[in-house]
Structure 1
Amino acid sequence: MKDHQVVFDRINRYGEPSARRLFSHQLVDQAQRRARLGHLDLGHITWGQG
């Protein structure tokens, strides 16, 4: 799966435990790691844009 946004949509709607049950723990971890690196736009504004 290339689009980790699907994982985040699941987390936002049903919570992280549900996402870990539906997807693998590894996939959830990868998606979270990519988000911390700034590869996903999760609707957050960066510092200084607000």
Structure 2
Amino acid sequence: MSDYLGEEGVKNIKKKSQEHPSIKEPLLKEEQFQKLKLNKFREIYGNFAG
């Protein structure tokens, strides 16, 4: 489930960055942050998620 939400979040961020090129930079940083958070979540809870 977290994978799905993460991918959807990235898609939304990419869509927003295309609509508003001027705010592309912070959105890319946000995307990287979300990926890091997701990776950390997987490290901690990976065993439970299967």
- Which gives a bigger RCO, structure 1 or 2 (Cα 8 Å, sep 6+)? 2
Structure of higher CA gyration radius: 2
TM-score bin, normalised by smaller chain? 0.3 to 0.5
